[in-house]
């Protein structure tokens, strides 16, 4: 069941490239940066993730320990995530849903170590993204 919303970030795609694929399945890499809040604390998030286009037209993606949250006070947390997505329009427009797991030594962010989170990541055709996180209880 979805619990409390723990994060809300808005930002932009900062880079994209096509990666070598395993066979005929296209593989894409995307980097993004966003600002918002996590646990009510102002923060910036940066991530690089990859996604493959599945034969049915949907996307499967992972952020394999290539995500970091940094608060304005210098606290940090890293994360890994995976999810399913779909193209929603032209260019970079996508919509992903999935799970994310954080790891931190920060006391202020310690709650993130104790909970699985689910997310929504929506990007428009101009590369503007919105990442929302909820506790999965």
Enumerate the domain spans of the chain: 2-136
Segment 35-64, tens digit of pLDDT: 999 999 999 999 999 999 998 999 999 999
By CB atoms closer than 10 A (0-12, 13-18, 19+), residue 92 is buried
Q: Does domain 2-136 match CATH 3.10.20.30?
A: no
- Tell me the percentage of the chain whose pLDDT exceeds 70: 99
Output the pTM of the full model: 0.94
Q: Tell which residue, 123, 115, 96, 126, has the closest CA to residue 38.
A: 115
- Measured CA to CA, the distance from residue 37 to residue 23 in angstroms comes to 40
Angle of CA points 120, 93, 26, to nearest 5°: 100
Q: For position 47, what pLDDT does the model report?
A: 98
Q: For position 2, what pLDDT does the model report?
A: 82
């Amino acid at each position: 069941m979805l619990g409390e919303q723990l994060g809300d970030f808005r930002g932009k795609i900062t880079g994209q490239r096509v990666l070598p694929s395993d066979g005929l399945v296209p593989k894409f890499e995307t980097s993004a940066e966003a600002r918002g809040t996590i646990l009510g604390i102002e923060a910036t998030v940066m991530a690089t993730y990859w996604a493959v286009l599945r034969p049915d037209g949907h996307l499967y993606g992972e952020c394999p320990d290539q995500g970091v949250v940094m608060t304005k006070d210098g606290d940090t947390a890293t994360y890994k995530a995976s999810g399913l997505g779909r193209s929603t329009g032209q260019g970079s427009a996508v919509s992903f849903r999935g799970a994310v797991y954080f790891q931190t030594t920060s006391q202020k962010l310690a709650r993130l170590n104790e909970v699985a989170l689910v997310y929504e990541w929506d990007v428009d055709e101009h590369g503007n993204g919105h990442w929302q996180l909820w506790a999965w209880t």
